[in-house]
Amino acid sequence: MLQNHPQTDNAGFSGKIGVAQKDITPPVEIYAKNWGAGNDGIKSGVHHPFTLTCLVFLSDVAKRPLVLIAADLGWWNDAADEQHFRLALLQAFALEEAELMVCFSHTHSGPSLFMENSNKPGGKWIPVYLEQLKEQALLAIREALASAVPATLSWKYGSCGLAANRDQPTEQPGEILVGFDPEKKADDTLLVGRITDGNGAIIATIVNYACHPTTLAWDNHLLSPDYIGAMRKLVEEHTKGACIFLQGASGDLAPAEQYSGNPALADRYGRCLGYAVLSVLEAMLPPETQLYFARIVESGATLGVWEQRAFDVPADLRAELQYIELPLKPLPTLKEIEQQWEACDDPVLKERLWRKRGIRKNLGDGGTAAVPLWIWRLGACCLIGQPNEAYSWFQQELRNALLPYPAAVMNIVNGHTGYLPPEKLYSSNIYAVWQTPFAPGSLEQLTSRAITAAHKIMQ
């Protein structure tokens, strides 16, 4: 975990901030098969409500707002479906592409968002749900803009022991399961943002934490936001404000005990994270204050006294979007993958080929892919988002490089393609390597470019 730093604690943004929240719980009848194992395509009920939360940030010097949306959803299978959704939001509010980030929590117990699954059992609800999702997002932005008030965003780092390293080596050389490795330390960093109004009341809490929501799997029969649902419920009951969850770089992180059918386990994990969030909130200084070294007092020992003092919180708002050309592994063409899928009788392998087909369809048949990278400056903090499942090394490097500025790092932003594992893992037989379309070194290249871009925007 990062150590507290007098300039990191409470560093943030002061301007106008609006908050809105919408219930986006899907119909129980919708197609929701997200695992190759099991045959449960339609759930029997709802565990916790699914929520979409919108934050808008405005400044007197910025031409347009920055719009941040977080939703309790899994991932986009088709770039066309994602672009149709996001383009509607951009056009409705005359936003530049750089000024909108839509972040998914990555629950694995949510509805399919893939229009091509409309012919599956319950698939007729997919287009209906996608239209409702778009309408709720538009309403949330509109309400957040209308309700924006002078407010202060403050940040503090903490930790939570929920996430474990999930790359589990076996006795077979080079073979790694997606399970639990108790020998390897996981990145347990928790970043909490607190938004307070002019009276000091909390109107929203931002939770940036990296842990796959894979508590519930093929034996689960409920639509569920996984652990995020119970976490949000606890934090909102305590703070009386909205809670927005931003999934971190969790490519190698998940709960130690997962793939369960027991919703009570997801609730326990949610409380684990929720209480960690509340602990960080309790440790935060009042808005627009920091600790400064005040004086020396001679007592039984020579004592250094630190005191709270007011400081000016910056109001800078900047947004940049870069496209980084990453090399792809040698891959079959879309036509070849579709032929393999047609000839396959194994349901698990068929599911893997269907996902591989979706990736190839999104990327085209070329040898490289332009990966988008969003970099935002909110006063004295930085938000970095990209659509892939980067390993936690990505966020660790960014946090360390950006000190003393807090850095919120997010996976599954404005789309979804594949994993970004470290180059050293490419010789291993591991899901993240054979799933990803990206060639070795892609994570390292993206990280280097992200650090350079973040440094520039924070100057």
Task: Dump pLDDT digits (tens) for 268-280.
Answer: 999 999 999 999 9
What is the biggest distance separating any 2 CA atoms in the chain, rounded to whole angstroms?
A: 82
**Secondary structure letter of residue 117 according to DSSP:** G
Residue with tokens 């973040």: 454
* Residue-averaged pLDDT of the chain: 94
pLDDT grade for 5, boundaries at 50, 70 and 90: very low
pLDDT of 6: 45
- The total number of residues shown for the chain amounts to 459
pLDDT confidence tier of residue 3, bands split at 50, 70 and 90: very low
- Percent with pLDDT over 70 in the chain: 98
Sheet with 189-197: strands ordered across: 100-104, 66-71, 51-58, 12-23, 149-159, 189-197, 202-209, 242-247
Instruction: Report how far residue 155's alpha carbon sits from residue 252's, in angstroms, rounded to the nearest whole number.
Output: 25
Work out whether strand 202-209 and strand 242-247 pair parallel, antiparallel, or are unpaired.
Answer: parallel
Which of the four pLDDT bands, split at 50, 70 and 90, describes residue 363?
Answer: confident
- Among candidate residues 358, 353, 364, the one with its CA nearest the CA of residue 328: 364
pTM of structure: 0.94
DSSP letters, 172-183, are STTBEEES--TT
HEC per residue, 275-325: HHHHHHHHHCCCCCEEEEEEEEEECCCEEEEEEEEECCCCCCEEEEEEEEE
pLDDT in tens, 372-383: 999 999 999 999
Dihedral sign, CA of 76, 247, 431, 48? negative
pLDDT reported for residue 4: 43
**DSSP code for 10:** T
Say if CB 363 and CB 417 are below 8 A apart: yes
Are the CB atoms for 73 and 223 separated by under 8 Å? no
- Which residue do the tokens 């399919």 mark? 112
Side-chain-side CA neighbours of 11 within 13 Å: the count stands at 23
Within 10 A of 219 (CB to CB), how many other CB atoms are there? Answer: 13
